[in-house]
A = this chain, B = another copy of it.
Amino acid sequence: MQQSIEQYMQQLGKQARAAAQVLAFASTKTKNNALQAIHDALVAHQSQILAANKIDMEKGQQNSLDAALLDRLELTPKRFEGMLQGLKDVIGLTDPIGEITDLAYRPSGIQLGKMRVPLGVVGMIYESRPNVTLEAASLALKSGNAIILRGGSEALESNKALAQVIQNALKTTELPHEAVQVIETSDRAAVGELITLTEYVDVIIPRGGKGLIQRITNEARIPVIKHLDGNCHVYVEAQADMTKALPIALNAKTHRYGVCNAMETLLVDQAIATTFLPEVAKLYLEKEVELRGCEQTQAILGDAVKAATEDDWHTEYLGPILAVKVVKDMNEAIQHINHYGSHHTDAIITENFSLAQQFLARVDSSSVVINASTRFADGFEYGLGAEIGISTDKIHARGPVGLEGLTSQKWIILGHGEIRE
């Protein structure tokens, strides 16, 4: 059995690599036509896909999956509509492939530049949401990559149905249908194989819980673009404009709780703590946000705040809880952020130019924000059109990853017969 999983994954890998070589020089028109064919096939086979999803939902209920997971798993007609719209959006995106930049003559006479090219084969590992299957497949195709998809076992029927529709649609186009492949087994050994297929897979993108990501990071032999967690901060500096600080502090925490770009710790400069904290606390308590503060915060807010422990500074609550800390100055704020944060998104509220400038340079996060909510850190707000994930890595892609994150640049030399002297 172990042997056969290995052979199965080798076969998927080999097929993906062969497909990638065709995709790499497919024209924009060919790729858009293929995406349109997938769109039309999805419209035609909506009921089939929703029926498959229903089987997953029923199995999930039998297995007592929790409500949040069932919610993410469910494909409603409205969500299906959203998937189709997402696909149309990807068709509308500018094709990044083939772009040549920095083409200039070198003293030797050669003309040197860079050309944007696909990575090749993407391995995508994610949990229950079946709409990720389509999002990831469409971004991969648009950027000229083949993709091997491994969704959660609880979404297997939905994903198999989606894959079948996608592959059948691709068969009517100029692109190979192996450009999009779904791993059709829930055996966990398949993941272990996928992340070590060094010959056939160029990058692994995991989306899911911390446990999944860490397993993959430890075991992968292929570069991983990973998204760990979002422990985001807002630092309200002494010279903050209160008409900006209050709405931003409220928005960053309460606009949506379960998202990675929500604020989890509020840092307040001691110079304004006694005035700012009571005002902002009132807003949070109206929204029933639980506050956990340092000693100084407790001294100012009294019973309105619980005592924060060391753990609180590390925690991504993803819920209506906020850690609050009073800091001496910006240095302490930056040290706190760089030490406890997850290098995702962190903001300062200040009117002081030089402090803002320093904060930008010194905070080691994928998005650093001045006078705006951390909630802006996502692919759609950044104009990427769609996002395949948010990277908390520094290598290759940082922050929201769109089409460009699925590409690399190779060097090109246009010569006239030059040889090296």
Binding site for B on A (CB under 8 A): 21, 24-25, 98, 106, 108, 110, 112, 115, 117, 119-120, 202-203, 217-218, 221, 223, 241, 243-244, 247-248, 250-252, 255, 338, 347, 358, 360-362, 364-373, 375-377, 381-383, 393-396, 398-400, 408-420
CB distance A417 to B247 under 8 Å? yes
CB distance A412 to B372 under 8 Å? no
Set B110, B203, B365: member contacting A376, Cβ < 8 A: B110
Distance A221 CA – B216 CA, assembled complex (angstroms)? 10
Chain B residues within 8 Å of A370, by CB: 412-415
Chain B residues within 8 Å of A243, by CB: 417
Set B112, B117, B398, B413: member contacting A411, Cβ < 8 A: B398
CB distance B408 to A395 under 8 Å? yes
Distance A408 CA – B398 CA, assembled complex (angstroms)? 8
Given contacts A251-B419, A251-B420, A368-B412, contact A108 B376 (CB under 8 A): yes
Chain B residue, CB-CB nearest to A220: B221
Report the minimal beta-carbon distance from A204 to chain B, rounded to whole angstroms. Answer: 10
Chain B residues within 8 Å of A360, by CB: 115, 412
CB distance A25 to B362 under 8 Å? yes
Distance A395 CA – B362 CA, assembled complex (angstroms)? 25
Chain B residues within 8 Å of A108, by CB: 376, 381
CB distance A398 to B371 under 8 Å? no
Distance A366 CA – B119 CA, assembled complex (angstroms)? 11
CB distance A412 to B367 under 8 Å? yes
CB distance B25 to A420 under 8 Å? no
Chain B residues within 8 Å of A369, by CB: 412-413, 415
CB distance A419 to B247 under 8 Å? yes
Given contacts A395-B203, A395-B223, contact A415 B106 (CB under 8 A): no
Given contacts A24-B362, A25-B362, A251-B420, contact A394 B202 (CB under 8 A): yes
23 contacts between A and B (CB under 8 A): A21-B362, A24-B362, A25-B362, A106-B382, A108-B376, A110-B372, A115-B368, A202-B395, A203-B394, A217-B221, A223-B396, A247-B419, A251-B420, A255-B420, A366-B410, A369-B412, A370-B413, A371-B416, A373-B420, A376-B413, A376-B420, A377-B411, A377-B413
Report the minimal beta-carbon distance from A213 to chain B, rounded to whole angstroms. Answer: 12
Chain B residues within 8 Å of A218, by CB: 221
Given contacts A418-B372, A420-B376, contact A399 B410 (CB under 8 A): yes
Set B241, B371, B394, B420: member contacting A408, Cβ < 8 A: B394
Distance A418 CA – B364 CA, assembled complex (angstroms)? 22
Distance A361 CA – B99 CA, assembled complex (angstroms)? 10
Chain B residues within 8 Å of A377, by CB: 411, 413
Copies of the polypeptide in the assembly:
2
CB distance A364 to B120 under 8 Å? yes
Chain B residues within 8 Å of A372, by CB: 110, 413-419
Chain B residues within 8 Å of A248, by CB: 417-419
Report the minimal beta-carbon distance from A260 to chain B, rounded to whole angstroms. Answer: 14
Distance A295 CA – B19 CA, assembled complex (angstroms)? 30
CB distance B383 to A106 under 8 Å? yes
CB distance B411 to A366 under 8 Å? yes
Chain B residue, CB-CB nearest to A416: B371
Set B338, B375, B410: member contacting A368, Cβ < 8 A: B410
Distance A414 CA – B353 CA, assembled complex (angstroms)? 11
Chain B residues within 8 Å of A418, by CB: 248, 371-373, 376
Distance A293 CA – B334 CA, assembled complex (angstroms)? 63
CB distance B98 to A361 under 8 Å? yes
Leading 7 A-B pairs by shortest Cβ distance? A372-B415, A244-B417, A251-B419, A375-B420, A371-B415, A396-B396, A223-B395
Greatest chain B CB density within 10 A among A106, A218, A358, A360 is at: A360
Distance A222 CA – B217 CA, assembled complex (angstroms)? 9
Distance A383 CA – B110 CA, assembled complex (angstroms)? 12
CB distance A383 to B112 under 8 Å? yes
